[in-house]
Structure 1
Amino acid sequence: METIRLLLVDDHTIFRAGIRVLLEMQPDFKVIGEAEEGEKALSLVRELQPEVVLMDIAMPGVDGLSAARRIKETAPMTKIILLTQHENKEYLQPALKIGAEGYVLKRAAADELVMAIRAVHQGKSFLDSNVTSTILAEYCQDVKNGTVTDNRQLSEREREILVMLARGYTNRQIAELLKISPKTVDFHRARIMKKLGIKGRVALAQYALRHGLVE
């Protein structure tokens, strides 16, 4: 069984201890380090090279979103799950924009966090069920307002790039995987946004989630 190497980042010592006990009950999980703030998390990512980082958003010093953004810049293959008490889009949208693979509420059930870790380790995205409900509510409102768009107008390559963007891949990563130039990726992204009538990486991610293009 493959072991998933985990780094815990939260400024509450008792919370970290509880999460560590929970995770180490799983035979395929190994907690290799802990940090109480973002700057230390960045250092430990470089030193320990965890596969998955579980990180709080609200922390003193370098907050979770800023730390996650910097981790994605320096260690793009590291998966990030943001653990938070916030379920509104003010926090969700920046999380999607920086490329975090998971977003789990601190009040979630233990098995949901375990599922999230395994999902992102396998290259999937994971949203807390309560957050998913919020997104679905927004989708229903879009239907009511008549603003839902049809992704069938996208080419196969455009749909492929849309999914990769929604999963948090950078233009450079997409270019390397598809063996095309970053400028070509940027060109396709611009065409996708024009065809769908939406702007920005966050909106693209939300669109893909709403239409079942990513899990």
Structure 2
Amino acid sequence: MTTPDHPTLRVVVADDQAAVREGLVTLLDLLPDIAVVGAAADGDHALTLVEQHAPDVVLMDLRMPGVDGIEATRRIHDHHPATKIVVLTTYSDDTSILDALRAGALGYLTKDAGRDHIAQAIRTAAAGQAVLDPTIHARLLAATAHHPDTPPSAPPDGLTTRETEVLTQLAAGHSNTEIARQLFVSETTIKTRINHIYAKIGAADRAQAVRYAYQHHLTQP
């Protein structure tokens, strides 16, 4: 049951395989706090559904005919920033992952994920927090790790050491509460520092901050 504090999340499912698409719709419609408002077989139709329904989240496949998932993600992120995108795909190669995140995806899961994991990813993304499959997170860390002969450098864009710590924790998928607990400060302090980080790196939201962290090698294994 939904309440004013926990409203129903409106979701669009985009996948070119009818069996997968219909299966996801059926599974998600069984959840009390999620309502599927549209299902698309390609990126172009997904864009139309976003324009019509303004969903909270799009569950996006990558390989689709016509407008693929990467381009659809980019257009939704640019023109409908309130709608968050969670990629759900069979592809877990470095190029697909990085292209999806750069396009604006806030989450990335493989189709091995179970219903509970997918549902939690939708809820997390709707709250504006990044969510990555553990396998995907490991691949990102490997893809962006420092080379052994690369000397350490000062934090970029004027970030302080503590702000860099917060950004690293944020990129690892931790919530504000978890970051505050790990750094022994209040959650209000973390929110303030995150706002300062956004201003310094030119990020509009958590997804852009996560991408910045990966691009600048601020993640930790």
TM-score by length of 1: 0.72
Cα separation, 2, equivalents of 1:27 and 1:67: 28
More helix by share: 1
Amino acid across the alignment from 1:51: D
1:120, distance to aligned residue in structure 2 (A): 0.5
Q: Give the structure 1 partner of residue 192 of structure 2.
A: none
Q: Give the structure 2 partner of residue 210 of structure 1.
A: 219
Residues 32-83 of structure 1 deviation map (CA, whole Å, 9 limit, x = unaligned): 1111111111111111111100111000001011011111111111000111
Q: Give the structure 2 partner of residue 22 of structure 1.
A: 27
Cα separation, 2, equivalents of 1:83 and 1:21: 16
Q: Is 145-154 or 55-64 further displaced after alignment? A: 145-154
Q: Give the structure 1 partner of residue 92 of structure 2.
A: 87
Residues 119-142 of structure 1 deviation map (CA, whole Å, 9 limit, x = unaligned): 101110011111112123346x52
Q: Give the structure 2 partner of residue 142 of structure 1.
A: 146
The alpha-carbon distance between structure 1 residues 159 and 3, as it changes in their structure 2 partners (threshold 3 A), is same
- Whether 2:51 is the aligned partner of 1:46: answer yes
Query: Structure 1 stretches of 5 or more lacking a match?
Result: 168-177, 179-184, 191-200
Cα separation, 1, equivalents of 2:107 and 2:211: 17
Q: Give the structure 2 partner of residue 77 of structure 1.
A: 82
From 94, 109, 112, give the equivalent of 1:107: 112
Query: Structure 2 stretches of 5 or more lacking a match?
Result: 174-194, 203-208
Cα separation, 2, equivalents of 1:67 and 1:148: 37
Amino acid across the alignment from 2:105: A
Corresponding pairs, count:
186
Q: Alignment RMSD, CA only?
A: 3.6
